[in-house]
Structure formats: C-alpha cells, structure tokens
Amino acid sequence: MSAPTPLDARARGGGLLERAVQARWPVAAALVLLLCVVWQAAGAAALLPDYIFTPTAIAAAFFRALPDRLPGETLATLRRQLPGFLLGTTLGVLIGLWAGMFRAVDDLTSPLVSLTYPLPKIALFPVLVVWLGFGDAPRIAIVALACLYPALVNAAAAARGIDRRKIWVARNYGAGSFRIFRQVVMRDAAGLVIVGVRIALALSFVVVFSTEAISARSGLGALIMDGYQNVQYDDMYAGMVTLGLLGFLADRLLLWASAPLVRGQQLRAIGRG
Amino acid sequence: MDATVPRRQAGRRALPLSPAGRSAARRWGALLGAFALWELAARVVDSALMPTLGVIVARLATDASSGLLWQHAQATLVRGFTGLAIGVAIGVALGVAMGLNRVVQYAIEPLLAATYPVPKLALYPFFILLFGFGTASKVALVALECLYPLTYNVYSGVSGLDRRYLWAAQNFGAGPAARAGVLLRGALPALFAGLRIAVPIMLIVIVVTELIGESLGLGFLIRSASTNFEPEGALAVILFLGLLGFLLDRLLLRAARYVVFWQQGIQG
C-alpha cells in the first residue's frame, strides 16, 4: 500500500502536538480512544439500549468466554476456513501464474473467470449442501471457490506484468523452465501474488462466517447467530471479537511470513477480489 | 505474449487461422466446453439433484414469466444499490477529506488498514438489533463493506492528483466549488476502480444476508428452492445472479469509458 503524500504535507518540526501528529499513530489512537470514551459514557448514563454493550462489557464478555466456549468454536471455524483457503489459493495462484505466462492458457481460463467472477460464490452454498450433505465438505468447498478468484486474477496479472526481457536473459544463460519459474517469475510476481492471497485470506473469514451463520451447530458464526437469537448477547459479542481478532491476526501473520519475498515493496491491501 | 513458444513453432502444423482467430476459437471453445461438461455430467448422473442446462434455463424462464424472479430481484437490487449509494457518498467524502487534510488522513488510514481484514459481515446480528430485521440492516452492512474500497481508492486518487491542476484553478480565480470540481474530476478514475471492486462486494453482502434469514430477495429464493430440494430453482437464480453481476460489471466499464474518457482502461 503506497502512502501518497497529502496535499498539505508541510515541513517537519513544531511543538509536542505537532510532533504527535507527525508520528501519525497517536492521531488514530486518539480518535479510537475518544470514540470509546463517548461510547462508554453513553452506556454509563444509560443512554444505550441493553443490547449495545459498552467497550468494557464487551471485553468482560470476551474474557468470560475465553476459557469456556471460544477455543472449541474457534477450532471448528478454523477447520473449515484453513483447508478451504489453502486449497483455493494454491489452485488460484498456480492457474493464475500459468495463465499469465501462456496466452493459450489465458484464452481458456479468462472467459470462464470473467463470466463467473462477479457472481457471489456464497450463493452456491445451499446447492452444495444438497450435493455434499451437511457437514464441513460444502463449507470447505465454498471457501476454496471464493478464494480461488482473487488469487487467480492477481497472480495472472502478476505473471502478465513480468518484464519479458528478464525471462529472455535467463534463457540465454541456459536456465530451464523450472528455474525460470522459480527464480524469475516467482520473484518478479511475488508482490501482486501476495496481494491476491491477502484478499483471499480476508474473504475466507467472511465466507466461513456466512456458511456458519446460514446453518451450523458449531463455529464462531453459529456462536454469534445463536447468541443473537437466544438473547445471549455475551456470546454474540465474544464471537464477534474473536472473529475480528482472527481476521486481523491472520492478515498480520501473512504479511510477516511473506516479508522476505517482497522486501522493499509496498503491498496494496484492497483490490479486485 | 507467449514466453516460451518460439522453440516449438517450427514443427507445428499451420492452422487456417490467424493468431487472433485462434485465440477467439480457444475462448469460445473453453466456454462451450464448460457447458458441455456440465451437460454431460448431468446426463451421466441422471438425478434431480443435478439438473441439465435445459431444465435450469426452462426454470429460469418460468420464474421470470411468472413475475416471481422480478419481485425478489427488485428487493435485492433496491437494497444493494441503496447501500452502495450510501457507501459512495461516505466514501467520497472521507476519501477527499483524507486526501486534503493530514490530520484526517493520519486518523483514518490506520483504522481502515487495521479493520480491513476484519470480517465486517459478522456485525450483521448487531445491525439487526440496531436497525431491525428488514431492509435497513442489510443496507447498512452493504454501505459499510463497500466503504473500504471506495474510500481507499478516492483517497489515493485525490492524493495522487497533480497539484498543478489545483494551482492553475486557483490562479484563474476558481472558488471553493470549482476547486472541489477539479478534485472530484481528478479522483473520478479511482472512484470507478473502487466501484468495480464494490459492486461484487455489494452482491456478496446482500445475498448472504438474504440467505441467513429473510422472506424476500434472491438469496431467500435460492435458499427456499434448496430446502425444497429443487436444485434447478436455486441454480436458475444463481444463473440470473451471474448474468446480473456480469452485466453490472460491463455497464460500469462502459460508463467509465464515457465519464472518464481521458483515461484508458479502468483497473480495479
């Protein structure tokens, strides 16, 4: 994600306030703190309906559920999300790179991809349940399908954008196809490929939550929806916080793990997915 | 285009087609092949659970002519586009403010970056409590989800704008309204790129919320057909949704070509 300079970026220096603004993060922290204080105060003044918890009540609900229901439900969710994500992204990246390198493959995949790309893949979930039964199989399949697209589209764009001259140079020096793929294609395309994987990762949590909210007896989605339906708002908030943390931490983990591949590059977070 | 082809070309039998013609043949072949594969699988399986293409299309025609499809599609589209419109309004305002003002940028950008990978869809039950079960909670969720790509794109569009355009406008005595016009025009290509990301997100969010529990909308139609063990009904709606999404994407590209005529090719 490149950080464009704002139009009014001025010279550095100034007082304590100015330095706090320069450091950037105190500004966001101050905004969040302000919102939380107003929220908490509104709750304390009994201005909020009882289904809106204050920040401290949400934290309390989370820590109460932490040793209790959260580990099991989190595990149930991850058992669906992770296989689907790995399957979908691996296939997507491989097909995408292949299509980006060879015109013939691109001709075969791109009409199908562009035709089905805007379709919300989650719409297939009820049909997949009819085909594959209740259980984890249709959930894993739909997560994989949803992850396939951003991974494929971005990997194809990445491979298409590789400087051809680098490939020619590598071939002139006698590198084989596999070596070219590993040392030129993978290296040059890594940035955009990881952008696609990152979008797929965020999407995988959205989709797994959706499948659990539509119908499931276990998982964070079920915890959240059951909490809502049975007026157990503690469970609902604890589930939301956990799912949010999961999405956030998974994103950080991906960025950390892929850092050596994309040294010196700025990654976009948002793109076609 | 092709990276490794020169080695093989010599031994290949010449086809009576130009490279462009061969490419088009492959494209159509892939599409027809996919449909043929489905048809073959459906005929081999020969079960009501996997209907043939003819059955699906016939069901689509029945649902369309009986008005059932339009009734539900209308509900879905009204919700989706209302949410998208709210998302565009807030996203443009936030993006322009972030692009122009440093403090706003520093306050909002880390928040967007930190909450982007968080599945906002999980807030749906909270939105139901807040806005009630019907349309409002779905519209709010669509607006929230679409806000991210729109805000970020408008922000990078505004901050990437050549400042000399603004200086020129100022030199010619442009007032605040005219300067805002310069800014918005500069951000327009980025806005279209954001919309191209936001429209599929809108479809996802609206269909999911309708699948979770609703008595109106295309998502509900899919769910009710599936629970009645009528996969052809669900697949007919999915086919319709696919056509709708494809059409919206093409329309957006076409509109971008007219509105942002000075920019070639809008990427998302």
Per-residue pLDDT reduced to its tens digit, A9-31? 444 456 777 777 777 778 888 88
- Select from B119, B28, B226, B246 the least CA-distant residue to A244: B119
Q: Tell me if A109 sits within 8 A of B31, measured CB to CB.
A: no
What residue spans of A50-118 are helical by DSSP H?
A: 55-65, 70-101, 103-116
pLDDT for B264 equals 60
B211 in a domain, yes or no? yes
Q: Quick: pLDDT tens for A181-206.
A: 788 877 888 888 999 999 999 999 99
Q: Is the pLDDT of residue A135 over 80?
A: yes
Closest approach of A91 to chain B, Cα-based (Å): 18
Say if the Cβ atoms of A101 and B3 lie within 8 Å.
yes
Q: Of the given ranges (A131-140, B166-175, B234-243), which has the lowest mean pLDDT?
A: B166-175
What is the C-alpha to C-alpha distance for residues A211 and A127, in angstroms, rounded to an integer?
12
Say if the Cβ atoms of B245 and A118 lie within 8 Å.
yes
Task: State the maximum Cα–Cα separation within chain B, in Å, rounded to a whole number.
Answer: 74
Is residue A200 within a helix (H) or strand (E), and if so which, with residue range?
A: helix A186-214
Q: Is B253 on the interface with A (CB under 8 A)?
A: no
What are the chain B neighbours of A118 within 8 Å (beta carbons)?
199-200, 203, 242, 245-246, 248-249
What is the C-alpha to C-alpha distance for residues B14 and B10, in angstroms, rounded to an integer?
10
pLDDT band at B214 (very low <50, low <70, confident <90, very high): confident
Say if the Cβ atoms of B159 and A271 lie within 8 Å.
no
In the predicted model, what is the mean pLDDT of chain B? 85
> What is the average pLDDT across B38-56?
87
Q: Is the pLDDT of residue B9 over 60?
A: no
**% of chain B at pLDDT higher than 90:** 37
In the predicted model, what is the mean pLDDT of chain A? 86
Q: Is the pLDDT of residue B210 over 50?
A: yes
What is the C-alpha to C-alpha distance for residues A123 and A140, in angstroms, rounded to an integer?
14
Domain that includes residue B223, residue range: 74-257
What are the chain B neighbours of A198 within 8 Å (beta carbons)?
117
Of A21, A120, A251, the CB nearest to B203: A120
Q: Which two tokens stand for residue A180?
A: 């070219």
What is the C-alpha to C-alpha distance for residues B156 and B227, in angstroms, rounded to an integer?
45
- B214: CATH: 1.10.3720.10
Q: Is the pLDDT of residue A138 over 60?
A: yes
> What is the average pLDDT across B206-227?
88
Size of chain A in residues:
273
Q: Is the pLDDT of residue B2 over 70?
A: no
What is the C-alpha to C-alpha distance for residues A233 and A51, in angstroms, rounded to an integer?
7
Q: Quick: pLDDT tens for A102-133.
A: 888 999 998 889 888 888 899 999 889 888 88
> What is the average pLDDT across A80-103?
93
B262 in a domain, yes or no? no
Number of domain units in chain B? 1
Q: Is the pLDDT of residue B34 over 70?
A: yes
pLDDT band at B268 (very low <50, low <70, confident <90, very high): very low
Q: Of the given ranges (A23-37, B178-192, B207-221), which has the lowest mean pLDDT?
A: B178-192
Size of chain B in residues:
268
pLDDT band at A166 (very low <50, low <70, confident <90, very high): confident
DSSP string, chain B: --SSTHHHHTTSPPPSS-HHHHHHHHHHHHHHHHHHHHHHHHHHH-STTS--HHHHHHHHHHHHHTTHHHHHHHHHHHHHHHHHHHHHHHHHHHHHHHHH-HHHHHHHHHHHHHHTTS-GGGGHHHHHHHH-SSHHHHHHHHHHHHHHHHHHHHHHHHHTS-HHHHHHHHHTT--HHHHHHHHHHHHHHHHHHHHHHHHHHHHHHHHHHHHHS-SSSHHHHHHHHHHTT-HHHHHHHHHHHHHHHHHHHHHHHHHHHHHTTTS-----
pLDDT band at A265 (very low <50, low <70, confident <90, very high): low
Q: Is B152 on the interface with A (CB under 8 A)?
A: yes
Q: Quick: pLDDT tens for A55-64.
A: 888 999 999 8
> What is the average pLDDT across B52-60?
91
Q: Quick: pLDDT tens for B69-93.
A: 999 999 999 999 999 999 999 999 9
What are the chain B neighbours of A103 within 8 Å (beta carbons)?
1-2, 23
Closest approach of A199 to chain B, Cα-based (Å): 8
Residue located via tokens 């950390």 = A256
Q: Which residue in B5, B32, B108, B129 has the most chain A C-beta atoms within 10 A of its own C-beta, making it the best mutation to test that interface?
A: B129
Q: Which residue in A108, A119, A267 has the most chain B C-beta atoms within 10 A of its own C-beta, making it the best mutation to test that interface?
A: A119
pLDDT for A264 equals 62
Say if the Cβ atoms of A120 and B207 lie within 8 Å.
yes
B208 C-beta neighbours (distance < 10 Å), count: 25
pLDDT for A8 equals 45
pLDDT for B76 equals 93
Q: Is A227 on the interface with B (CB under 8 A)?
A: yes
Residue A170, burial from CB neighbour count under 10 angstroms (0-12, 13-18, 19+): middle
Of B111, B128, B149, the CB nearest to A28: B111
> What is the average pLDDT across A159-187?
84
pLDDT band at B185 (very low <50, low <70, confident <90, very high): confident
Q: Tell me if A270 sits within 8 A of B145, measured CB to CB.
A: no
Q: Which two tokens stand for residue A45?
A: 């003044």
- For A99, A204, B56, B216, the CA distances from A148, given in Å and listed in that order, are 14, 10, 25, 30
pLDDT band at A144 (very low <50, low <70, confident <90, very high): very high
Question: Highest mean pLDDT range out of A163-172, B41-50, B75-84, B255-264?
Answer: B75-84
pLDDT for A271 equals 56
Say if the Cβ atoms of B2 and A224 lie within 8 Å.
no
B3 in a domain, yes or no? no
**Phi, psi at A271, each rounded to 5°:** -165, -175
Q: Which of A 96-135 lie inside 8 A of B, CB atoms? A: 101-104, 107-112, 114-127, 129-131
SS3 assignment, position A263: coil
Q: Which of B 15-34 lie inside 8 A of A, CB atoms? A: 23, 26-31, 34
Q: Tell me if B24 sits within 8 A of A122, measured CB to CB.
A: no
Residue B14, burial from CB neighbour count under 10 angstroms (0-12, 13-18, 19+): exposed
Residue located via tokens 């369309």 = B64
Q: Is A231 on the interface with B (CB under 8 A)?
A: no
B202 in a domain, yes or no? yes
Q: Tell me if A205 sits within 8 A of A159, measured CB to CB.
A: no
Residue located via tokens 């594959």 = A132
Question: When comparing pLDDT for A175 and B73, which is higher?
Answer: B73
B242 in a domain, yes or no? yes
Q: Which residues contact B17 (CB under 8 A, 6 or more apart)?
A: B25
Buried b vs exposed e over B238-247: b needs ≥16 C-beta within 10 Å? bbbbbebbbe
Q: Which residues contact B172 (CB under 8 A, 6 or more apart)?
A: none
What is the C-alpha to C-alpha distance for residues A264 and A252, in angstroms, rounded to an integer?
17
What is the C-alpha to C-alpha distance for residues B261 and B33, in angstroms, rounded to an integer?
37
What is the C-alpha to C-alpha distance for residues B174 and B179, in angstroms, rounded to an integer?
6
pLDDT for A14 equals 64
Q: Quick: pLDDT tens for A198-229.
A: 999 999 999 999 999 988 788 999 999 999 98
Q: Is the pLDDT of residue A270 over 80?
A: no
Residue located via tokens 């059409």 = B247
